[in-house]
Protein backbone atom coordinates (compact mmCIF):
# COMPACT_ATOMS: atom_id res chain seq x y z
CA UNK A 1 0.00 0.00 0.00
CA UNK A 2 1.49 3.34 -1.04
CA UNK A 3 2.15 5.92 1.66
CA UNK A 4 0.32 9.20 1.23
CA UNK A 5 2.72 12.17 1.33
CA UNK A 6 0.87 15.08 2.89
CA UNK A 7 1.94 18.74 2.65
CA UNK A 8 2.60 18.61 6.38
CA UNK A 9 4.89 15.58 5.98
CA UNK A 10 6.95 17.40 3.38
CA UNK A 11 7.25 20.61 5.39
CA UNK A 12 8.06 18.74 8.61
CA UNK A 13 10.78 16.76 6.88
CA UNK A 14 12.28 19.95 5.47
CA UNK A 15 12.31 21.41 8.97
CA UNK A 16 14.16 18.39 10.31
CA UNK A 17 16.70 18.37 7.47
CA UNK A 18 17.38 22.07 7.90
CA UNK A 19 18.12 21.54 11.60
CA UNK A 20 15.53 23.98 12.93
CA UNK A 21 11.94 25.01 12.48
CA UNK A 22 10.99 28.38 11.11
CA UNK A 23 9.64 30.36 14.01
CA UNK A 24 6.00 31.31 13.95
CA UNK A 25 5.31 35.05 13.77
CA UNK A 26 3.76 34.77 17.23
CA UNK A 27 4.21 32.48 20.22
CA UNK A 28 2.19 29.32 20.65
CA UNK A 29 -0.13 31.00 23.12
CA UNK A 30 -0.98 33.69 20.59
CA UNK A 31 -1.82 31.10 17.96
CA UNK A 32 -4.41 29.53 20.27
CA UNK A 33 -5.49 32.58 22.24
CA UNK A 34 -9.06 32.38 20.93
CA UNK A 35 -9.35 28.72 22.00
CA UNK A 36 -7.46 28.01 25.25
CA UNK A 37 -4.46 28.98 27.35
CA UNK A 38 -1.13 27.36 26.46
CA UNK A 39 1.24 26.91 29.37
CA UNK A 40 4.57 25.47 30.44
CA UNK A 41 6.08 24.14 33.67
CA UNK A 42 8.97 26.11 35.15
CA UNK A 43 11.78 24.10 36.74
CA UNK A 44 13.10 25.07 40.17
CA UNK A 45 16.53 26.13 38.87
CA UNK A 46 14.84 28.90 36.90
CA UNK A 47 13.28 30.20 40.12
CA UNK A 48 16.39 30.37 42.30
CA UNK A 49 18.36 33.16 40.62
CA UNK A 50 17.63 35.99 38.24
CA UNK A 51 14.33 35.70 36.44
CA UNK A 52 14.39 34.45 32.85
CA UNK A 53 14.44 37.38 30.43
CA UNK A 54 11.21 38.80 29.08
CA UNK A 55 12.11 37.46 25.63
CA UNK A 56 12.88 33.97 26.99
CA UNK A 57 10.80 31.02 25.82
CA UNK A 58 8.49 30.91 28.88
CA UNK A 59 7.54 34.54 28.29
CA UNK A 60 7.52 34.65 24.51
CA UNK A 61 5.66 31.40 23.86
CA UNK A 62 3.26 30.78 26.77
CA UNK A 63 0.54 32.56 28.74
CA UNK A 64 0.22 30.18 31.71
CA UNK A 65 3.01 29.11 34.06
CA UNK A 66 3.12 26.23 36.53
CA UNK A 67 5.93 25.49 38.98
CA UNK A 68 7.09 21.95 38.29
CA UNK A 69 8.05 21.43 41.95
CA UNK A 70 8.35 24.76 43.78
CA UNK A 71 4.80 24.80 45.17
CA UNK A 72 4.72 21.19 46.32
CA UNK A 73 4.49 20.59 50.07
CA UNK A 74 8.08 19.36 50.52
CA UNK A 75 9.41 22.66 49.17
CA UNK A 76 6.83 25.06 50.61
CA UNK A 77 6.67 23.61 54.14
CA UNK A 78 9.49 21.09 54.64
CA UNK A 79 9.15 21.22 58.44
CA UNK A 80 6.19 22.09 60.68
CA UNK A 81 5.41 25.79 60.40
CA UNK A 82 8.55 26.52 58.35
CA UNK A 83 7.31 27.97 55.08
CA UNK A 84 9.70 28.72 52.23
CA UNK A 85 8.10 30.91 49.58
CA UNK A 86 11.24 32.06 47.75
CA UNK A 87 10.76 30.02 44.56
CA UNK A 88 6.99 30.45 44.54
CA UNK A 89 7.42 34.22 44.86
CA UNK A 90 9.78 34.10 41.88
CA UNK A 91 7.15 32.27 39.86
CA UNK A 92 4.63 35.00 40.61
CA UNK A 93 7.19 37.65 39.63
CA UNK A 94 7.97 35.81 36.40
CA UNK A 95 4.30 35.55 35.50
CA UNK A 96 3.79 39.25 36.16
CA UNK A 97 6.79 40.05 33.98
CA UNK A 98 5.46 37.83 31.20
CA UNK A 99 1.80 38.79 31.52
CA UNK A 100 0.97 35.12 32.15
CA UNK A 101 -1.43 33.38 34.50
CA UNK A 102 -0.16 31.17 37.33
CA UNK A 103 -1.38 27.64 37.97
CA UNK A 104 -0.62 26.40 41.50
CA UNK A 105 0.57 22.79 41.71
CA UNK A 106 -0.33 21.09 44.03
CA UNK A 107 -2.09 21.28 47.44
CA UNK A 108 -2.82 17.65 48.36
CA UNK A 109 -0.79 14.74 46.98
CA UNK A 110 0.47 11.50 48.49
CA UNK A 111 3.90 12.06 46.90
CA UNK A 112 6.45 14.79 47.72
CA UNK A 113 4.74 15.38 51.06
CA UNK A 114 7.06 15.17 54.11
CA UNK A 115 6.48 12.27 56.49
CA UNK A 116 6.00 14.68 59.40
CA UNK A 117 2.67 15.79 57.96
CA UNK A 118 1.15 12.42 58.86
CA UNK A 119 3.10 11.65 62.04
CA UNK A 120 3.42 12.78 65.64
CA UNK A 121 6.74 13.29 67.42
CA UNK A 122 7.05 9.55 68.07
CA UNK A 123 6.49 8.69 64.41
CA UNK A 124 2.96 7.37 64.93
CA UNK A 125 0.04 8.36 62.68
CA UNK A 126 -1.63 11.54 63.85
CA UNK A 127 -5.34 11.78 64.56
CA UNK A 128 -7.89 12.90 61.99
CA UNK A 129 -8.33 16.17 63.87
CA UNK A 130 -4.61 16.94 63.86
CA UNK A 131 -4.21 16.18 60.16
CA UNK A 132 -7.20 18.35 59.27
CA UNK A 133 -5.63 21.25 61.18
CA UNK A 134 -2.32 20.73 59.34
CA UNK A 135 -4.02 20.54 55.96
CA UNK A 136 -6.10 23.65 56.60
CA UNK A 137 -3.10 25.63 57.84
CA UNK A 138 -1.01 24.62 54.84
CA UNK A 139 -3.69 25.45 52.28
CA UNK A 140 -4.80 28.67 53.94
CA UNK A 141 -1.20 29.85 54.26
CA UNK A 142 -0.17 28.97 50.70
CA UNK A 143 -3.36 29.87 48.83
CA UNK A 144 -3.94 32.89 51.05
CA UNK A 145 -0.47 34.29 50.33
CA UNK A 146 -1.17 34.26 46.60
CA UNK A 147 -4.85 35.19 46.72
CA UNK A 148 -5.68 37.06 43.53
CA UNK A 149 -2.30 36.17 42.00
CA UNK A 150 -2.83 32.48 41.23
CA UNK A 151 -5.44 31.82 38.55
CA UNK A 152 -6.15 28.23 39.53
CA UNK A 153 -4.97 25.44 41.82
CA UNK A 154 -4.44 21.71 41.33
CA UNK A 155 -6.13 21.10 44.66
CA UNK A 156 -5.94 17.31 44.68
CA UNK A 157 -3.47 15.31 42.62
CA UNK A 158 -3.64 11.62 41.67
CA UNK A 159 -6.18 10.40 44.23
CA UNK A 160 -7.55 7.59 42.03
CA UNK A 161 -6.52 4.03 41.22
CA UNK A 162 -6.69 2.81 37.64
CA UNK A 163 -10.14 1.32 38.27
CA UNK A 164 -11.46 4.70 39.46
CA UNK A 165 -11.50 3.84 43.15
CA UNK A 166 -9.76 5.97 45.75
CA UNK A 167 -6.05 5.30 46.34
CA UNK A 168 -4.94 3.93 49.68
CA UNK A 169 -2.84 6.86 50.93
CA UNK A 170 -2.11 8.40 54.34
CA UNK A 171 -4.61 11.14 53.50
CA UNK A 172 -7.39 8.62 53.04
CA UNK A 173 -6.36 6.31 55.88
CA UNK A 174 -6.34 9.13 58.43
CA UNK A 175 -9.06 11.49 57.15
CA UNK A 176 -11.42 9.00 55.53
CA UNK A 177 -12.96 8.77 52.07
CA UNK A 178 -13.93 12.44 52.08
CA UNK A 179 -10.33 13.67 52.45
CA UNK A 180 -10.46 15.47 49.12
CA UNK A 181 -13.61 17.38 50.07
CA UNK A 182 -11.73 19.07 52.90
CA UNK A 183 -8.88 20.09 50.60
CA UNK A 184 -11.25 21.72 48.12
CA UNK A 185 -13.22 23.42 50.88
CA UNK A 186 -10.07 24.88 52.46
CA UNK A 187 -8.85 26.13 49.07
CA UNK A 188 -12.20 27.77 48.39
CA UNK A 189 -12.11 29.47 51.79
CA UNK A 190 -8.59 30.78 51.20
CA UNK A 191 -9.33 32.25 47.75
CA UNK A 192 -12.99 32.17 46.65
CA UNK A 193 -12.11 33.54 43.19
CA UNK A 194 -9.40 31.03 42.24
CA UNK A 195 -10.28 28.14 39.95
CA UNK A 196 -10.03 24.70 41.53
CA UNK A 197 -8.94 21.55 39.70
CA UNK A 198 -8.64 17.81 40.15
CA UNK A 199 -5.55 16.44 38.33
CA UNK A 200 -4.58 12.85 37.44
CA UNK A 201 -2.65 10.68 34.96
CA UNK A 202 -3.96 7.93 32.66
CA UNK A 203 -7.11 9.93 32.14
CA UNK A 204 -7.60 8.22 28.81
CA UNK A 205 -8.77 5.07 30.62
CA UNK A 206 -12.57 4.84 30.92
CA UNK A 207 -12.65 3.52 34.50
CA UNK A 208 -10.37 6.25 35.77
CA UNK A 209 -12.34 8.94 33.97
CA UNK A 210 -15.52 7.55 35.49
CA UNK A 211 -13.88 7.80 38.91
CA UNK A 212 -13.00 11.44 38.28
CA UNK A 213 -16.56 12.22 37.18
CA UNK A 214 -17.85 10.58 40.38
CA UNK A 215 -15.40 12.61 42.48
CA UNK A 216 -16.50 15.85 40.82
CA UNK A 217 -20.16 14.98 41.37
CA UNK A 218 -19.56 14.23 45.05
CA UNK A 219 -17.80 17.56 45.45
CA UNK A 220 -20.74 19.25 43.74
CA UNK A 221 -23.13 17.54 46.14
CA UNK A 222 -21.00 19.02 48.95
CA UNK A 223 -21.47 22.48 47.47
CA UNK A 224 -18.00 22.72 45.90
CA UNK A 225 -17.53 23.39 42.21
CA UNK A 226 -14.59 21.79 40.40
CA UNK A 227 -13.68 24.16 37.59
CA UNK A 228 -11.86 21.56 35.50
CA UNK A 229 -10.40 18.07 35.54
CA UNK A 230 -6.74 17.96 34.60
CA UNK A 231 -5.93 15.20 32.12
CA UNK A 232 -2.21 14.68 32.67
CA UNK A 233 -0.87 14.03 29.20
CA UNK A 234 2.37 12.12 29.78
CA UNK A 235 2.09 10.32 26.47
CA UNK A 236 4.39 8.35 24.18
CA UNK A 237 4.73 7.63 20.49
CA UNK A 238 3.39 4.19 21.46
CA UNK A 239 0.42 5.04 23.67
CA UNK A 240 -2.39 6.01 24.15
CA UNK A 241 -4.58 5.97 21.07
CA UNK A 242 -6.13 9.22 19.94
CA UNK A 243 -9.53 7.53 20.04
CA UNK A 244 -9.08 6.72 23.74
CA UNK A 245 -8.13 10.33 24.51
CA UNK A 246 -11.10 11.63 22.56
CA UNK A 247 -13.53 9.26 24.24
CA UNK A 248 -12.36 10.48 27.64
CA UNK A 249 -12.80 14.09 26.58
CA UNK A 250 -16.31 13.26 25.39
CA UNK A 251 -17.12 11.59 28.70
CA UNK A 252 -15.97 14.60 30.69
CA UNK A 253 -17.77 17.06 28.43
CA UNK A 254 -20.99 15.03 28.52
CA UNK A 255 -20.78 15.04 32.31
CA UNK A 256 -20.58 18.83 32.27
CA UNK A 257 -16.94 18.82 33.34
CA UNK A 258 -14.45 21.22 31.81
CA UNK A 259 -11.00 19.97 30.80
CA UNK A 260 -7.41 21.06 31.27
CA UNK A 261 -4.71 19.19 29.38
CA UNK A 262 -1.92 19.20 31.93
CA UNK A 263 1.71 18.03 32.01
CA UNK A 264 1.83 17.37 28.27
CA UNK A 265 4.90 15.63 26.87
CA UNK A 266 5.42 12.79 24.39
CA UNK A 267 8.27 10.36 24.98
CA UNK A 268 9.96 9.06 21.84
CA UNK A 269 11.95 6.33 23.63
CA UNK A 270 11.21 2.60 23.60
CA UNK A 271 9.59 1.16 26.69
CA UNK A 272 11.04 -1.55 28.95
CA UNK A 273 7.62 -3.14 29.37
CA UNK A 274 4.96 -3.44 26.68
CA UNK A 275 2.28 -3.02 29.35
CA UNK A 276 3.86 0.14 30.78
CA UNK A 277 1.92 3.38 30.76
CA UNK A 278 1.04 6.25 33.03
CA UNK A 279 3.04 8.58 35.23
CA UNK A 280 3.40 6.91 38.61
CA UNK A 281 6.70 8.35 39.82
CA UNK A 282 7.41 5.26 41.95
CA UNK A 283 7.98 3.13 38.83
CA UNK A 284 11.61 2.53 37.89
CA UNK A 285 13.48 0.30 35.46
CA UNK A 286 17.14 -0.57 34.95
CA UNK A 287 19.08 1.36 32.32
CA UNK A 288 20.16 -0.33 29.09
CA UNK A 289 21.43 1.18 25.80
CA UNK A 290 18.54 -0.38 23.89
CA UNK A 291 16.17 1.94 25.78
CA UNK A 292 18.25 5.03 25.03
CA UNK A 293 18.82 5.04 21.27
CA UNK A 294 18.81 8.79 20.52
CA UNK A 295 21.68 10.11 22.63
CA UNK A 296 23.18 11.86 19.60
CA UNK A 297 19.91 13.43 18.50
CA UNK A 298 16.48 12.51 17.19
CA UNK A 299 16.47 11.04 13.66
CA UNK A 300 14.25 12.54 10.97
CA UNK A 301 11.75 9.67 11.07
CA UNK A 302 11.10 10.09 14.79
CA UNK A 303 11.04 13.87 14.43
CA UNK A 304 8.25 13.49 11.92
CA UNK A 305 6.35 10.98 14.06
CA UNK A 306 6.52 13.33 17.04
CA UNK A 307 5.44 16.32 14.97
CA UNK A 308 2.54 14.46 13.42
CA UNK A 309 1.29 13.23 16.80
CA UNK A 310 1.46 16.73 18.28
CA UNK A 311 -0.46 18.03 15.28
CA UNK A 312 -3.13 15.39 15.75
CA UNK A 313 -3.41 16.12 19.47
CA UNK A 314 -3.83 19.84 18.96
CA UNK A 315 -6.40 19.22 16.25
CA UNK A 316 -8.28 17.16 18.87
CA UNK A 317 -7.94 19.89 21.49
CA UNK A 318 -9.33 22.40 19.01
CA UNK A 319 -12.22 20.07 18.22
CA UNK A 320 -13.19 20.22 21.90
CA UNK A 321 -12.13 23.80 22.48
CA UNK A 322 -15.55 24.62 23.90
CA UNK A 323 -14.61 22.40 26.87
CA UNK A 324 -10.81 22.80 27.01
CA UNK A 325 -9.56 25.66 29.19
CA UNK A 326 -5.81 25.10 29.00
CA UNK A 327 -3.01 23.00 27.50
CA UNK A 328 0.18 22.95 29.58
CA UNK A 329 3.47 21.37 28.51
CA UNK A 330 5.47 19.77 31.31
CA UNK A 331 8.68 21.64 30.61
CA UNK A 332 9.89 24.01 27.93
CA UNK A 333 12.91 22.35 26.30
CA UNK A 334 13.99 18.72 26.01
CA UNK A 335 16.80 19.46 28.46
CA UNK A 336 14.20 20.40 31.11
CA UNK A 337 12.06 17.32 30.79
CA UNK A 338 11.58 14.86 33.64
CA UNK A 339 11.21 12.18 30.96
CA UNK A 340 15.01 12.08 30.75
CA UNK A 341 15.00 10.42 34.18
CA UNK A 342 11.73 8.54 34.33
CA UNK A 343 11.03 5.64 34.32
CA UNK A 344 14.76 5.09 33.60
CA UNK A 345 17.32 7.55 34.90
CA UNK A 346 19.87 9.22 32.65
CA UNK A 347 18.22 8.75 29.27
CA UNK A 348 18.09 11.30 26.46
CA UNK A 349 14.45 11.87 25.61
CA UNK A 350 13.06 14.41 23.14
CA UNK A 351 9.43 14.92 24.26
CA UNK A 352 8.82 18.66 23.90
CA UNK A 353 8.60 21.35 21.21
CA UNK A 354 12.06 22.85 21.75
CA UNK A 355 15.35 20.95 21.60
CA UNK A 356 18.13 21.04 24.18
CA UNK A 357 19.41 24.33 22.78
CA UNK A 358 15.96 25.94 22.89
CA UNK A 359 15.47 25.70 19.13
CA UNK A 360 11.98 24.93 17.82
CA UNK A 361 11.55 21.43 16.43
CA UNK A 362 9.32 20.10 13.68
CA UNK A 363 6.68 19.55 16.36
CA UNK A 364 6.60 23.30 16.98
CA UNK A 365 6.07 23.90 13.28
CA UNK A 366 3.29 21.31 13.30
CA UNK A 367 1.13 23.07 15.88
CA UNK A 368 1.84 26.68 14.92
CA UNK A 369 1.67 26.47 11.12
CA UNK A 370 -0.74 23.60 10.54
CA UNK A 371 -3.80 24.14 12.67
CA UNK A 372 -6.58 24.04 10.10
Strands 64-67 and 228-236: unpaired
Q: What is the mean pLDDT of residues 8-33?
A: 55
Instruction: List, for residues 79-93, the tens digit of each pLDDT value.
Output: 999 999 999 999 999
The domains found in the chain, sorted by start residue, are 25-369 (3.20.20.80)
Which one of the listed residues 68, 263, 308, 365 is annotated catalytic?
A: 263
Q: Which residues are CB-contacts of 125 (< 8 A; sequence separation ≥ 6)?
A: 118, 119, 170, 173, 174
Asked if 26 is an active-site residue, the reply is no
Q: Please give the pLDDT value at position 369.
A: 86
Integer Cα distance of 62 and 326 in angstroms: 11
Integer Cα distance of 219 and 241 in angstroms: 30
Q: Please give the pLDDT value at position 279.
A: 57
Sign of CA dihedral 358, 329, 92, 151: positive
65 backbone dihedrals φ, ψ, rounded to 5°? -125, 135
Instruction: List, for residues 356-368, the tens digit of each pLDDT value.
Output: 999 999 999 999 9
Length of the chain in residues, anyone?
A: 372
Which one of the listed residues 158, 296, 308, 365 is annotated catalytic?
A: 158
Q: Which residues are CB-contacts of 188 (< 8 A; sequence separation ≥ 6)?
A: 196, 224
Asked if 158 is an active-site residue, the reply is yes
Q: What is the mean pLDDT of residues 317-342?
A: 96
Burial label for 127, CB within 10 Å (0-12, 13-18, 19+), is exposed
177: Cα separation from own chain's centroid: 25
Amino acid sequence: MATKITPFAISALLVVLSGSASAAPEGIASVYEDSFLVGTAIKSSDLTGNLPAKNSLPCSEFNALTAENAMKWQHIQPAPGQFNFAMADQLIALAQQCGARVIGHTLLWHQQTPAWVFEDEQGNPVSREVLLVRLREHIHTLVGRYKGKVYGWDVVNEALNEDGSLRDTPWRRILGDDFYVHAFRFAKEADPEAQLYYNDFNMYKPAKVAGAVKLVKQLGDAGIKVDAVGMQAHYSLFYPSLSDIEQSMKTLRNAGVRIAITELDISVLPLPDDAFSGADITQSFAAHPVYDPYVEGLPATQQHQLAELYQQLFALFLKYADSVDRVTFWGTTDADSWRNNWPIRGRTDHPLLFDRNGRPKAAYEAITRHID
